[in-house]
Amino acid sequence: MNRSTSIEAYNKRIKKILITEEEIQNAVKEAAKKIDAIYDGTPILLISILKGAFVFMADVCKNVTVPTEIAFMTAKSYFDDVVSSGNVEITMDIKQNLENYHVVIIEDIVDTGRTLSEIVKILKNRNPRSFHVITLLDKPSRRTVDFSADISLFTIPDYFVIGYGLDCGEYYRNLPYIAEYNQDAE
């Protein structure tokens, strides 16, 4: 997709809605209740892995009632390739000393699990007071490492998905739902 793509071509690439906006918002509220129950008034640090998790992070943050700080990280493992190298480089790190925090990672999707598994190792080595991982989407059929989130809102089949922060070529992050991307659309 290029910058001169027509709205018709853009819309043709949305194959079908898999998870509606209402289903997402209901699941986010339930996840926030679980976080509140786990931490029971104890302050937390929500860490979003950019860019895909920013919409999910915003909604979780709006729905938790425990005192909350936020932070953002970016990491890459693709290095000019379409397949993950398995090596993770933190390209934007958090500033907080994690020894003072109960950490909750907010992730958009766990696919192979490689990148998130490495990020978790890096952050756990910083000795947070406690640590949980919450993912919006889990795609276990693609897992190549032994990793699972503490809370997964939705399990999906092996589709390339867009919306609610997830993109294809930086487009579609603004969709309020999760959709299957139509790779065959012209």
Segments making up each domain of the chain, as ranges: 7-102+112-135+158-181
Which residues, at least 6 apart from 157, have a Cβ–Cβ distance to it below 8 Å? 139, 141
Instruction: Indicate the pLDDT class of residue 77, thresholds 50, 70 and 90.
Output: low
DSSP state of 137: E
- CATH architecture, range 7-102+112-135+158-181: 3-Layer(aba) Sandwich (3.40)
Q: Average of pLDDT values for 102-131?
A: 94
For 53, counting Cβ atoms within 10 Å of its Cβ (0-12 exposed, 13-18 middle, 19+ buried), the class is: buried
Side by side, which strands form the sheet with 89-92? 89-92, 68-76, 44-50, 102-110, 130-138, 151-155
pLDDT of 73 over the 60 cut: yes
pLDDT of 140 over the 50 cut: yes
* Catalytic member of 111, 146, 150, 167: 111
Q: How far apart are CA 94 and CA 122, in angstroms?
A: 12
Instruction: Indicate the pLDDT class of residue 89, thresholds 50, 70 and 90.
Output: confident
At 147-169, the pLDDT tens digits run 999 999 999 999 999 999 999 98
Per the listing, tokens 């309020």 go with: 176
Average pLDDT in the chain:
91
pLDDT of 82 over the 80 cut: no
Q: How far apart are CA 106 and CA 136, in angstroms?
A: 8
Predicted pLDDT of residue 75: 84
Task: Map residue 114 onto helix, strand or coil.
Answer: helix
Q: How far apart are CA 50 and CA 92, in angstroms?
A: 9
Q: Provide the whole-model pTM.
A: 0.90
Least confident of 50-59, 83-92, 153-162, 164-173: 83-92
- Residue 167 annotated as catalytic: no
For 108, counting Cβ atoms within 10 Å of its Cβ (0-12 exposed, 13-18 middle, 19+ buried), the class is: buried
**Phi, then psi, of 60 in degrees rounded to 5:** -60, -45
pLDDT of 100 over the 70 cut: yes
Which residues, at least 6 apart from 80, have a Cβ–Cβ distance to it below 8 Å? none
Q: How far apart are CA 135 and CA 129, in angstroms?
A: 20
